[in-house]
């Protein structure tokens, strides 16, 4: 007896291809905006000398959480600098900041809409439940 298969992969691929073709202009503009934000933020974070940034962040850590946090964060940042990874760390920090901003811009309005509308909540809740079951 022949195998019965649902061509889910083919359908998903066709759907993704349709979205890419249909919204190509939107994705190009969005990609350009995100790239520009990342590039500018990386330039700003790399502009002052590393030791200045380390001291600023260490003092901020001290005022935010106390002496132990300020000292340990200063030591960790100093280690990053001494290992020659400061530029890579600032690039990573830029990516994280851009990702957090994108997530907040998308997530906050969706959360507010879900709180105010049962219909939106009924759509969003299963999606969030499904996302929690996916492995990393």
- Report d(CA 65, CA 125) in Å as an integer: 35
- Report d(CA 77, CA 87) in Å as an integer: 12
- Report d(CA 67, CA 74) in Å as an integer: 10
So what's the pLDDT on residue 63? 97
Show the low-confidence residues of the chain (pLDDT under 50). Answer: none
So what's the pLDDT on residue 133? 87
- 8 Å CB contact between 73 and 61: yes
So what's the pLDDT on residue 59? 97
So what's the pLDDT on residue 18? 95
pTM of the prediction? 0.77
Q: Tokens 């299963």 map to which residue?
A: 126
So what's the pLDDT on residue 117? 95
Token duo for residue 100:
């957090």
Q: Please write down the HEC assignment for all residues of 90-128.
A: HHHHHHHHHHHHHHHHHHHHHHHHHHHCHHHHHHHHHHH
- Report d(CA 68, CA 32) in Å as an integer: 41
So what's the pLDDT on residue 30? 94
Token duo for residue 46:
């790399």
| Structure-derived torsion over alpha carbons of residues 70, 87, 29, 98, reported in degrees to the nearest 10 | -10
């Amino acid at each position: 007896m022949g195998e019965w298969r649902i061509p889910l992969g083919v359908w998903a691929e066709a759907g993704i291809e349709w979205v890419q073709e249909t919204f190509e202009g939107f994705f190009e503009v969005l990609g350009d905006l995100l790239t520009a934000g990342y590039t500018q933020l990386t330039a700003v974070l790399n502009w002052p000398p590393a030791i200045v940034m380390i001291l600023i962040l260490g003092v901020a850590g001290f005022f935010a959480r106390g002496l132990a946090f300020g000292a340990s964060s200063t030591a960790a940042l100093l280690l990053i600098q001494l290992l020659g990874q400061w530029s890579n760390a600032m690039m990573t920090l830029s990516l994280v900041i851009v990702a957090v901003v994108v997530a907040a811009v998308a997530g906050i309005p969706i959360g507010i809409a879900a709180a105010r509308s049962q219909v939106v909540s009924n759509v969003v809740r299963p999606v969030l439940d499904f996302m929690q079951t996916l492995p990393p």
